[in-house]
Amino acid sequence: MKLLVYGAGVLGSLFSARLHETGHDVSLLARGERLASLRRHGVQLAEAGSPDVRRVPVPVVEHPAGGYDLTAVFVRTHQVDAVLESLAGLEGDVLFLLNWAAGAEPLGAVIGHERVLLGFGTAGGTMEGDVVRYRAPNFITRRVATPIGEPDGGTTPRLERIVREFRTAGINAKAEPKMDAWLKTHAAFEVPLGQAVHAAGGPVALADDLDAVRGMLRIMRQNLAALPTPPVPGGFAALRTLPEGLLVATLRRFLRSPTAVHSGLSDASPATVAELDRLAEQLRAYARIR
């Protein structure tokens, strides 16, 4: 399978490097200074806290061209509209591995409904200059799967093939029959979390503000209550049923953990703010439609 990874941020860089190192025919699309750096140095990877940088010579392209069996899209939510037109001119299936709570309809309306797959990249990390710093795998993160699904929840040969190809690259992918609900549930949780972290000035600062954590939890509960279907994964139902005090304590521990600190939650860039704002708009529109 010939693959194009569209987007050379943390996730796109990690995915393309893993695919290339395991012998897959993959190209990474980038532009501007990022493209120049990738051409000079390849994808530069380093574990969080380590001075060692590993370089992976992933082939890079500036403009998407034809001939790809699959394009995996790793861009911010608010950047999707800008890339859809270029995707419309490509052949092959398109897997959107990103934050998205608007469903497959607006994507398929531009590129063709039959080409769309939904998913979410679960790897984490941050950009330090041109170096991608990622969390070292541990027992917990190895068990966190990258969900991928058909918009209608079906099981298809192409879905099975993509999951198989990703697994051969060491990416713990799985077929998710309720992918759209998964993405909406994730947005219901992530939007208040990200906005609260940004307002507080970082995850640790938020953990130290008990009232802010309580307010964040209440918004999460309101978002989940607005969903017309049960949350996916089902464990998110605990945010609506467990006592507030227990949940606040759990969230505060998470916010102080290395996982939170190195997950990108500390990123207060304008792009992060714009993405959270777009996700919030999608959630509000979905609540009105239902």
Tens digit of pLDDT for each residue in 122-172?
A: 877 888 899 998 876 543 345 579 999 999 999 999 999 999 999 999 999
3-state secondary structure of 116: strand
Which regions of the chain carry the CATH code 3.40.50.720? 2-177
pLDDT the model gives residue 114: 97
Helix and strand totals (H; E) in the chain:
13, 12
Residue segments in the chain with a per-residue pLDDT below the cut of 70: 136-143, 261-264, 288-290
The domain 2-177 is classified under which CATH number: 3.40.50.720, 3.30.420.40, 3.30.1330.20, 3.20.20.70?
A: 3.40.50.720
Q: Evaluate whether 209 touches 200 at the Cβ level (below 8 Å).
A: yes
C-alpha triplet 189, 190, 194: angle, nearest 5°: 130
pLDDT the model gives residue 89: 86
The tokens describing 214, both together, are 């309580």
CA distance 230 to 266: 30
